[in-house]
Structure 1
Amino acid sequence: MQRLELDPRDDWQQQLEAVGMNYHTPNGEPYWDESACYRFSASQIDILDDATAELHSLCLQAIETIISRRLFNKLRIPAWAIPYIVASWERHEPSIYGRFDLAWDGQGAPKLLEYNADTPTALLEAGVAQWFWLRDRFPDADQFNSIHEKLIAFWQRYRQNQPNLHFACVAESDEDLGNLEYLRDTAIQAGLTSHWLAIEQIGWEPSAHRFVDLRNQPIRALFKLYPWEWLLQDEFGRYLPQARISILEPPWKLLLSNKGILPILWELFPDHPNLLPASFEDKPLQGDYVRKPLYSREGANIEIRRGCSTIETGGSYGSEGYIYQRHVQLPNFAGNFPVIGSWIIADQAAGIGIREDKIEITGNNSRFIPHYFVEN
């Protein structure tokens, strides 16, 4: 694994906008950064592929344990939502995607930092933008990236039971809208009929016990780029169990998107090479650690305690409780700290996207860096 400095393409902004990525330079600061890239060997990509598939398997096993041992309170799941979540799992409701964030320098075993299981973004960047970058800059190389093909294959299976699908996100977020439109485009390519609306525009029809769109048409299937924990807190969240609606990601994904899954995984699979020691706040770790709120997003309210030094970020999370995770040093490439986001699409490892920052906490504005690999 190497970090290489490059000259950006002359028309890189136009190239990104041509594929729908209009949020490449938010507030004048680069988010997409092709002044550098990461180079892997084929054998290193195999390690990432295997680790991703393994972590996915461990997480599915962990769900069974959470349900059988009734660990919902550890995850701060409201009691009224538990039967709804369990029923979703027992019905085998499909999941389309997730992203494991990994610490790895190309040596040894990749370590799981967290699982973005519910509303992972950077999908358009990983699936499309960096693929076109590869064709322009390294046409003879390859990339760990079958995201686009696997998305379309998922939708082709999905439409056999549900040919119509609504897509919703917060309208004011350019990044969310870009990711949502990309997913919607792959669904259309697979033959689904789709409708877009803002999450705030979804209505409730009490007489029929159903959610409706702006045309007052029933929403029978919904892809929402909106966190489950927010949905459950919203005014209409309590109506979800009685509504006849199929949702992607399904309710059972709330059990995995919660950072409480990290200590549960460690308890179930201690000393697993892809896991870091982790505990709930009532059993804090000794030595260097990272404290994370159960529902923190975009690097908010993270604290790294290493020796006598502390790095922390602000935010509005933490009232729900914390977990502690053993601190692992991120790779340091001349002051740049990368995190590898490894994608699961329809239960299969599908590719990676890399985010890096000048500090060890990856936040909303951390840069996306493309990658490629070559034969050993």
Structure 2
Amino acid sequence: MLWHGAVPEHPVPWAQGDAPVPYWAEDTGYSFTPAEIAALEQASQHLTDCVLAATEYAITEGRLAELGIPDFMEEAVRESWDRDDPSVYMRLDLAYRTGEAPQLLEVNGQTPTSLLEAAVCQWQWLEDRQAAGELAGSCGQWNTVHEALGEQWAHLKAARGLGEVTFCAAPIDEDVATVTYLRELANAAGIHSTFLEVDALGLAPGEPYLLDGWPRPIRNLMWLWPFEFAWDARDGEALARTQTRFIEPLWKAVTSSKGLLALLHELYPDDPHILPASLTPGMLRTPAVQKPLYSREGQNVILPGAAMTPGDYAGYPLMEQAYTELPTFSAPDGPRYPVLGVWAAGSEVCGLGIREGRGRVTDNRASFAPHWVEGER
């Protein structure tokens, strides 16, 4: 993996407080050899299989409370797994240094974003660079995300009889864009869809389903809203009682818990792709990162020797994971720390997106950086 950057005409002082950072990084790209991509793809599929096995282990062995899942949710989560409620997508975040084994940092199982950038925008970027003569026509990209997601929706319609889905998100540009893209893919597969914002979801006494604004029952809900936000809310227990089926499914509450990283280490203690981790902070005899069981965008993370990052998850129990260095690339406007996001459609890995942080914790000021593969894969 090589970093390729250009000197910005007007460098932005990234390290200074809340200086603005462009989300799409036009001044940056990463190149990989075909051998690197083959190794990343193999390792990522292996890790995806391990994550799903650890999810099953947590559910069948009664480990849900340790992962931060409330008692009233446990039966609904188990039933969701037993029904084999289908998943559309997932993202694994990896630390990768050239010549070394990729290492799993986190699993984004329920609400992963940066999807449109990975699936569509960086592919268009590649074609534009090739058309401009800046990249050879033989260059490729590890990116069949768009096609794989379309195939997954088509599979759910044909094999699961999924005919109608309500798509739902908070009124946040990134979330709405992600849901809109997923909805367009579902429509292309012949699935009828509607959209509403999270606050428009309704409940009614004795009604077995969540309701839309008309109000009509919602039987299938593609919900880009964290489960932990819902179960912590005033009407949180409705999440466990409703007959509405969620995409991503309720069993993804297990996959999304950072406590699953500790169970992965418990199950695969010698796996070079899985970092040592513990549900009890202070147990690892190595420099460790402490993370809330549920958090997003690098919130409330404690790096070795550092203060907790700001965020809304300070009340959650902490787990710890062995610290691993991210590769660091020097740019004219400060260091860059890339994290590789590998996408899976269903349970099959299908492409790569890169978030490039300006600090060792990847937060909501990280940029998306495109990549290419040298020569033919």
The two structures have a TM-score, normalised by structure 1, of 0.91
Q: Which residue of 1 aligns with 2:157?
A: 159
Q: 2:95 is matched with which residue: 80, 99, 103?
A: 103
How many Å apart are 1:326 and its aligned residue?
0.8
1:79-103 deviation line (CA, Å, top 9, x unaligned): 1110100000011110111111100
Counterpart Cα distance in 1 of 2:49 and 2:199:
35
Contact 2:292 2:317 in 1 (8 A): yes
Gaps of 5+ in 2: 9-17, 132-136
Q: 1:324 is matched with which residue: 316, 320, 335?
A: 320
Q: 1:125 is matched with which residue: 117, 135, 140?
A: 117
Q: Aligned to 2:194, what secondary structure does the other structure show? A: strand
Q: Aligned to 1:286, what secondary structure does the other structure show? A: coil
Using the aligned pairs only, state the percent identity.
36
Q: Which residue of 2 aligns with 1:280?
A: 279
Counterpart Cα distance in 1 of 2:53 and 2:301:
27
Q: Which residue of 2 aligns with 1:137?
A: 129
Counterpart Cα distance in 2 of 1:345 and 1:162:
16
Q: Which residue of 1 aligns with 2:218?
A: 219
> Which one-letter code corresponds to 1:362 in the other structure?
T
How many Å apart are 1:212 and its aligned residue?
1.4
Q: Which residue of 2 aligns with 1:21?
A: none
Counterpart Cα distance in 2 of 1:108 and 1:350:
21
> Which one-letter code corresponds to 1:294 in the other structure?
L
| Aligned 1:186-197 pairs, distance under 5 A | 186-197=185-196
Q: Which moved more, 1:204-213 or 1:116-125?
A: 204-213
Q: Aligned to 1:251, what secondary structure does the other structure show? A: coil
Counterpart Cα distance in 2 of 1:287 and 1:184:
44
Whether 1:74 and 2:66 are equivalent positions in the alignment is yes
Relative to structure 1, the CA distance from residue 298 to residue 336 in structure 2 (aligned partners, 3 Å threshold; closer, same or farther) is same
Relative to structure 1, the CA distance from residue 242 to residue 288 in structure 2 (aligned partners, 3 Å threshold; closer, same or farther) is closer
Contact 1:169 1:224 in 2 (8 A): yes
| Aligned 1:325-344 pairs, distance under 5 A | 325-334=321-330, 335-344=335-344
Q: Which moved more, 1:204-213 or 1:318-327?
A: 204-213
Counterpart Cα distance in 1 of 2:351 and 2:6:
22
Counterpart Cα distance in 1 of 2:207 and 2:23:
45
Contact 2:21 2:366 in 1 (8 A): no
1:271-325 deviation line (CA, Å, top 9, x unaligned): 20111111122553223111111111110011110xxx42641112132211111
Q: Which residue of 1 aligns with 2:134?
A: none
Q: 2:309 is matched with which residue: 310, 313, 338?
A: 313
The two structures have a TM-score, normalised by structure 2, of 0.90
> Which one-letter code corresponds to 1:42 in the other structure?
P
> Which one-letter code corresponds to 1:329 in the other structure?
E
Q: Which residue of 1 aligns with 2:228?
A: 229
Q: Which residue of 1 aligns with 2:370?
A: 370
Relative to structure 1, the CA distance from residue 3 to residue 282 in structure 2 (aligned partners, 3 Å threshold; closer, same or farther) is closer
Q: Aligned to 1:203, what secondary structure does the other structure show? A: coil
Q: Which residue of 1 aligns with 2:3?
A: 3
Q: Which residue of 2 aligns with 1:20?
A: none
Counterpart Cα distance in 2 of 1:73 and 1:192:
36
How many Å apart are 1:40 and its aligned residue?
0.3
How many Å apart are 1:27 and its aligned residue?
8.8
Q: Which residue of 2 aligns with 1:182?
A: 181
Q: Which residue of 2 aligns with 1:347?
A: 347
Counterpart Cα distance in 1 of 2:241 and 2:298:
34
Q: What is the number of equivalent residue pairs in this alignment?
A: 355
Counterpart Cα distance in 1 of 2:307 and 2:33:
33
Counterpart Cα distance in 2 of 1:84 and 1:27:
44
| Aligned 1:205-284 pairs, distance under 5 A | 205-284=204-283
1:108-150 deviation line (CA, Å, top 9, x unaligned): 2100011111101000010011010010013611111111001
Counterpart Cα distance in 2 of 1:103 and 1:187:
32
TM-align CA RMSD: 1.7
Q: Which moved more, 1:87-96 or 1:241-250?
A: 241-250
How many Å apart are 1:191 and its aligned residue?
1.2
How many Å apart are 1:345 and its aligned residue?
0.8
Counterpart Cα distance in 1 of 2:27 and 2:298:
24
Q: Which residue of 1 aligns with 2:146?
A: 148
1:137-183 deviation line (CA, Å, top 9, x unaligned): 13611111111001111111222312111000101x11111111111
How many Å apart are 1:7 and its aligned residue?
8.2
Contact 2:281 2:290 in 1 (8 A): no
Counterpart Cα distance in 2 of 1:190 and 1:59:
28
> Which one-letter code corresponds to 2:227 in the other structure?
W
